[in-house]
C-alpha cells in the first residue's frame, strides 16, 4: 500500500529562498531558545505535545483497567457506597455457576468458529478481488457494508430476516421444498440454531474487514514473483500454496488477531439477536458480564467475569508487539 | 492453458457475485421492508421479494415524526463532532511528538498507545459506569463525549504518526532556519499539508462513534438522550411489538452515509490496521 499523503506534485517542497522570505523577526524568539540546547528543547516540546494524550488515556483507560481488577476482588454493587475486599469470593462463585461455564465455552466456540469461517471466506474473496475489473469500486462498497454500518443496526436487519414467522430465509427454504410450510426452523429459538445464527452474523460482520486487509497484503506482492514462478512452470495451486500464501502470512496474522479481539470481546450481535438465550445457549462472557454487572447491579461479579477477557488480550498484544518489531527490523 | 484461464476468470466472477450478494443482502432487505405496508410484511402467502400491496411511505413517516429518531440522529452527530474535536486536539500534537521529537522512544510509545486501542469496552464498562455516575454524567451524552476518546485517540495517534513520518523533515528544518519555532512550524506548515490525514482521522473517529454500542447502552437509559445505534434497536421496539418497516428504515438511513465516507478513505485505515506488516 504505497500511500503518499504528501502533496505528490511537490508544490509544497520548501523553496531554497526560505519560507515566508526575509530575515526572522528576532523579537519572536522565545525564552527557551536562549537557555536550552536544541535537543533538550525538542525533548521538552515532545513531552508537552505527547503529555495531554498520555494523561487522557491513562485517566480513561488506565484507571478503569486497574479498577476492574479491584472491583473483581470486592463487593461493589450499584447503589451502595461500601467497598470491602472479599478475596477470591467472586471468582469462586462465578466458577461454580453453570451460566458462567456455559458462557466461557460459548465464547470460545463463537470466536474460533466465526474466525475460521472468516479466514476461509476472506481468503477466497480477496483472491477474487485482486485483479482490477469493471465495477470493482461498487463491489467493494457493497461488500464493506456489514463492517462499516453500525453493527447493532446490521444485527437488527438479521433479526428480521431470522424472524420466527416471517423469515425470508425460511420462505425461500419452504419455496424450495426443504421444509413443509409452518415447520421451518426457529433460528433464534432453538439452542444450536441460535448459536449457529450468532456465529453466522458475526462472520458476516467480520468478513469485509478481513478481506480488505488480505487484499492489501496481496496487492503488495511484487508482480514479477508470481510471473517468474509461472515461467518456471508452477501451476495455480502450486503458486498459491508455495508463493502467495507464505508471502501474505504476516498480514493474515494481523487480520486474525484483530478478528479474535473483535469477536471475543464483543457482545453486540449476541445482545441484539438472542440476549444470550435461549437458556444461556448463546451467552458469551461480555454479555454475561453486562447482565450480571449492569442489569443485575452486581458490579463486582461483572468485573470478575470480564477479567476472563484479559488473557486473550495479553496474548494478542504480545503477538502484535512481536510483529511490529519484526516489521521495524526488516 | 487457455481453457484454464477462462475457468479462473469465470470462477472469480462467480465468487465476487455470490459474496457481494450475501454480504449486501440484509441492506437490500432493509430497503424493501422500508417501503412495504405492514400487512404486506405479515402476509405469508405472497412472495416476500415482491410488493404484494402498494409501496408506502408510512414507515418513514412513523420513524421521523412519531419516534425520537431525529433526536437520536442529532445526539449522534453532536457526540461525533465533539469527540472528533477532542481527538484531533489530543492526537495531532501527540502524533507529531512521536514522529519527530521523541527519537528512538517514539516507535515504542507509538506501539504502546496503539495497544490501548485493543482494550475493549466490555472490560472497562463496569468501572467506567461508576466513574460516570460519580462525575454526574450518567444518562447524558456527555458521558460518551468523555469516554469515546479512549478508543479514538489511540488509533488516530497511530494513523497520524505514520502520516507525519512520511513528510520530509527538511520542510520544518527550513522553516526553523527562517526563524519559526518548531511548534510554529508544526502549526503553520505541517498541519495545513496534512489535511488528507486529518480528514482520515475525522471519518474514522466518526465511524467509531456511530458503531460503539456497549458504552451507550450502559451509560444512558432515557430514550430521548440516546444514540442512534442504541435507540433504534432498543426503543423502536415497544413491548414485544416490532415495527419492522420503521426499524429497517432507521437502520438503512443510519448506515449508508457513513459507509460512503468510509469507502473514500479505506486505504488509509488499512495502512493503519496492518501495523507496518505491509509497506
What are phi and psi for residue B237, nearest 5 degrees? Answer: -100, 120
* Residue B214 pLDDT greater than 90, yes or no: yes
In three-state secondary structure terms, A102 is: helix
**CA-nearest residue of chain A to B260?**
A141
Q: Flag whether residue A249 sits within 8 Å of chain B, measured between CB atoms.
A: no
* Dihedral class, residue A276 (left if φ above 0, else alpha if ψ from -120 to 50, else beta): left
The band of B109, judged by pLDDT with boundaries at 50, 70 and 90, is confident
Q: Are B126 and B167 in contact (CB under 8 A)?
A: no
Residue B197 lies in a domain: yes
Residue B21 lies in a domain: no
Instruction: Give the residue carrying C-alpha cell 468501572.
Output: B127
Task: State the complex-level ipTM.
Answer: 0.88
Instruction: Give the residue carrying C-alpha cell 464493506.
Output: A144
pLDDT at A102: 92
A contacts of B256 (beta carbons < 8 Å): 149
> What is the pLDDT averaged over residues B236-255?
83
Interchain proximity B27–A71, CB inside 8 Å? no
Instruction: Give the residue carrying C-alpha cell 504518526.
Output: B161
Q: What percent of chain B has pLDDT over 90?
A: 30
Instruction: Find the helix or strand (DSSP H, E) in which B242 lies.
Output: strand B241-242
Nearest to A174 by CA among B245, B47, B53: B47
- Tell the burial category of B240 from Cβ atoms under 10 Å away from its Cβ (0-12, 13-18, 19+): exposed
In three-state secondary structure terms, B238 is: strand
**What is the tens place of the pLDDT at every residue in B70-108?**
999 999 999 999 999 999 999 999 999 888 887 777 777
Containing domain of residue B166, as a range?
61-273
Name residues whose C-beta falls within 8 Å of residue B210's C-beta, 6 or more positions apart in sequence: A150, B76, B80, B227, B228, B229, B254, B258
Q: Nearest CB to A216: which of B102, B179, B270? A: B270
Spell out a b/e string for A30-62, using b for 16 or more CB atoms within 10 Å of the CB, else e. Answer: eeeeeeeeeeebbbebbeebbeebbebbeebbb
The answer, yes or no, to whether the previous bond of B279 is cis (omega within 30 of 0) is no
Q: First CA to last CA across chain A, in angstroms?
A: 16
Residue B166 lies in a domain: yes
pLDDT at A325: 74
Mutate to test the interface with B, among A149, A219, A266 (most CBs of B within 10 A): A149
Interchain proximity B127–A61, CB inside 8 Å? no
B contacts of A19 (beta carbons < 8 Å): 174-175, 178, 180, 189
Written as nine digits, the cell of B151 is 478508543
Q: Are A144 and B259 in contact (CB under 8 A)?
A: yes
Interhelix angle B244-264/B58-65, nearest 10 degrees:
80
Q: Are B261 and B202 in contact (CB under 8 A)?
A: no
- Tell the burial category of A283 from Cβ atoms under 10 Å away from its Cβ (0-12, 13-18, 19+): buried
Q: Nearest CB to A50: which of B97, B115, B250? A: B97
For chain B, what is the domain count?
A: 1
pTM of the model: 0.85
Name residues whose C-beta falls within 8 Å of residue B120's C-beta, 6 or more positions apart in sequence: A261, A265, A266, A286, A309, A313
The band of B113, judged by pLDDT with boundaries at 50, 70 and 90, is confident
Domain CATH number, residue B65: 1.10.3720.10
Nearest to B158 by CA among B87, B219, B213: B87
Distance CA A330, CA A264 (A): 31
B contacts of A179 (beta carbons < 8 Å): none
Q: Nearest CB to A141: which of B166, B244, B263? A: B263
pLDDT at A1: 36
> What is the pLDDT averaged over residues B234-258?
83
In three-state secondary structure terms, A85 is: strand
Q: Flag whether residue A119 sits within 8 Å of chain B, measured between CB atoms.
A: no
**What is the tens place of the pLDDT at every residue in A86-124?**
888 888 888 999 999 999 999 999 999 999 999 999 999
Interchain proximity B233–A24, CB inside 8 Å? no
Residue B115 lies in a domain: yes
B contacts of A208 (beta carbons < 8 Å): 23
Instruction: Find the helix or strand (DSSP H, E) in which B237 lies.
Output: strand B237-238
B contacts of A148 (beta carbons < 8 Å): 207, 255, 258-259, 262-263
* Cα–Cα distance list, B215 to A232, B103, B144, B148, B158 (Å): 56, 36, 7, 9, 23
How many CB pairs lie under 8 A apart between chains A and B? 355
pLDDT at A125: 92
Higher-confidence residue of B58 and A200: namely A200
Mutate to test the interface with A, among B20, B126, B177, B198 (most CBs of A within 10 A): B126
Q: Flag whether residue A82 sits within 8 Å of chain B, measured between CB atoms.
A: no
Q: Flag whether residue A33 sits within 8 Å of chain B, measured between CB atoms.
A: yes
Written as nine digits, the cell of A275 is 440476549
The band of B275, judged by pLDDT with boundaries at 50, 70 and 90, is low
**CA-nearest residue of chain A to B25?**
A142
Q: Nearest CB to B263: which of A67, A144, A150? A: A144
Interchain proximity A46–B15, CB inside 8 Å? no
Distance CA A75, CA A293 (A): 11
Interchain proximity A19–B180, CB inside 8 Å? yes
Distance CA A200, CA A265 (A): 17
Q: What's the 3-state SS for B98-125?
A: HHHHCCCHHHHHHHHHHHHHHCCHHHHH
Chain A nearest-CA distance from B186, in A, is 11
Spans of chain A below 50 pLDDT: 1-28, 330
What CATH topology corresponds to A97-329?
Answer: MetI-like fold (1.10.3720)
Distance CA B273, CA B278 (A): 10
* Dihedral class, residue A192 (left if φ above 0, else alpha if ψ from -120 to 50, else beta): alpha
Q: Flag whether residue A125 sits within 8 Å of chain B, measured between CB atoms.
A: yes
Higher-confidence residue of B201 and A180: namely B201
Nearest to A129 by CA among A228, A214, A39: A214
Q: Nearest CB to B48: which of A131, A171, A267? A: A171
What are phi and psi for residue B226, nearest 5 degrees? Answer: -80, 165
Interchain proximity A290–B125, CB inside 8 Å? yes
Interchain proximity B273–A258, CB inside 8 Å? yes
Written as nine digits, the cell of A41 is 528543547
* Residue B152 pLDDT greater than 90, yes or no: yes
Residue B14 lies in a domain: no
Instruction: Give the residue carrying C-alpha cell 486497574.
Output: A66
Q: How far is CA A44 from the centre of its chain?
A: 35
Q: Are A90 and A301 in contact (CB under 8 A)?
A: yes
Distance CA A218, CA A143 (A): 18
Amino acid at each position: 500500500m504505497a500511500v503518499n499523503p504528501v502533496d505528490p506534485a511537490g508544490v509544497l517542497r520548501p523553496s531554497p529562498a526560505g519560507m515566508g522570505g526575509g530575515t526572522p523577526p528576532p523579537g519572536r524568539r522565545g525564552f527557551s531558545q536562549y537557555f536550552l540546547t536544541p535537543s533538550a528543547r525538542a525533548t521538552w516540546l515532545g513531552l508537552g505535545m505527547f503529555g495531554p494524550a498520555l494523561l487522557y488515556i491513562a485517566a480513561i483507560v488506565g484507571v478503569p483497567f486497574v479498577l476492574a481488577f479491584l472491583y473483581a476482588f470486592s463487593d461493589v454493587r450499584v447503589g451502595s457506597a461500601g467497598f470491602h475486599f472479599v478475596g477470591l469470593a467472586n471468582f469462586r462463585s462465578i466458577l461454580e455457576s453453570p451460566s458462567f461455564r456455559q458462557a466461557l465455552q460459548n465464547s470460545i466456540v463463537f470466536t474460533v468458529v466465526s474466525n475460521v469461517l472468516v479466514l476461509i471466506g476472506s481468503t477466497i474473496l480477496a483472491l477474487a478481488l485482486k485483479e482490477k475489473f469493471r465495477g470493482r469500486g461498487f463491489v467493494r462498497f457493497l461488500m464493506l457494508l456489514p463492517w462499516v454500518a453500525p453493527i447493532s443496526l446490521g444485527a437488527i436487519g438479521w433479526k428480521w430476516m431470522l424472524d420466527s414467522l416471517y423469515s425470508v430465509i425460511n420462505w425461500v427454504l419452504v419455496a424450495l421444498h426443504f421444509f413443509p410450510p409452518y415447520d421451518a426452523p426457529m433460528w433464534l429459538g432453538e439452542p444450536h440454531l441460535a448459536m449457529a445464527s450468532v456465529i453466522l452474523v458475526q462472520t458476516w460482520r467480520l468478513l469485509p474487514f478481513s478481506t480488505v486487509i488480505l487484499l492489501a497484503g496481496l496487492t503488495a506482492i511484487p508482480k514479477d514473483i508470481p510471473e517468474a514462478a509461472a515461467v518456471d512452470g508452477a501451476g495455480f495451486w502450486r503458486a498459491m500454496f508455495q508463493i502467495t500464501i507464505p508471502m501474505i502470512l504476516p498480514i493474515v496474522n494481523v487480520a486474525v488477531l484483530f478478528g479474535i479481539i473483535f469477536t471475543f470481546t464483543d457482545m453486540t450481535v449476541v445482545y441484539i439477536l438472542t440476549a444470550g438465550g435461549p437458556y444461556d445457549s448463546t451467552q458469551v462472557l461480555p454479555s454475561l458480564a453486562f447482565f450480571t454487572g449492569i442489569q443485575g447491579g452486581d458490579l463486582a461479579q461483572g468485573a470478575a467475569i470480564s477479567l476472563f477477557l484479559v488473557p486473550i488480550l495479553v496474548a494478542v498484544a504480545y503477538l502484535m508487539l512481536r510483529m511490529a518489531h519484526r516489521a521495524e527490523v526488516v | 492453458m487457455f481453457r484454464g484461464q477462462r475457468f479462473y476468470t469465470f470462477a472469480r466472477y462467480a465468487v465476487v457475485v455470490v459474496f457481494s450478494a450475501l454480504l449486501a443482502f440484509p441492506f437490500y432487505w432493509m430497503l424493501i421492508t422500508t417501503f412495504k405496508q405492514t400487512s404486506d410484511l405479515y402476509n405469508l402467502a405472497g412472495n416476500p421479494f415482491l410488493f404484494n400491496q402498494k409501496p408506502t411511505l408510512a414507515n418513514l413517516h412513523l420513524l421521523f415524526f412519531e419516534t425520537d429518531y431525529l433526536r437520536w440522529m442529532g445526539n449522534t452527530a453532536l457526540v461525533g463532532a465533539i469527540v472528533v474535536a477532542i481527538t484531533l486536539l489530543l492526537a495531532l500534537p501527540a502524533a507529531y511528538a512521536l514522529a519527530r521529537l521523541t527519537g528512538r522512544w517514539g516507535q515504542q510509545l507509538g506501539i504502546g498507545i496503539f495497544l490501548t486501542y485493543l482494550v475493549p469496552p466490555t472490560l472497562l464498562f463496569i468501572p467506567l459506569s461508576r466513574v460516570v455516575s460519580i462525575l454526574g454524567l450518567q444518562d447524558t451524552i456527555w458521558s460518551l463525549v468523555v469516554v469515546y476518546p479512549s478508543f479514538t485517540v489511540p488509533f488516530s495517534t497511530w494513523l497520524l504518526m505514520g502520516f507525519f513520518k512520511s513528510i520530509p523533515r527538511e520542510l520544518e528544518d527550513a522553516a526553523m532556519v527562517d526563524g519559526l519555532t518548531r511548534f510554529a512550524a508544526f502549526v503553520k506548515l505541517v498541519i495545513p499539508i496534512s489535511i488528507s490525514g486529518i480528514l482520515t482521522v475525522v471519518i474514522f473517529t466518526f465511524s467509531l462513534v456511530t458503531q460503539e454500542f456497549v458504552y451507550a447502552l450502559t451509560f444512558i437509559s432515557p430514550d430521548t438522550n440516546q444514540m442512534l445505534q442504541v435507540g433504534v434497536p432498543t426503543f423502536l421496539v415497544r413491548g414485544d411489538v416490532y415495527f419492522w418497516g420503521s426499524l429497517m428504515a432507521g437502520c438503512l438511513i443510519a448506515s449508508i452515509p457513513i459507509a460512503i465516507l468510509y469507502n473514500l478513505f479505506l486505504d488509509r485505515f488499512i495502512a493503519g490496521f496492518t501495523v507496518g506488516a505491509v509497506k
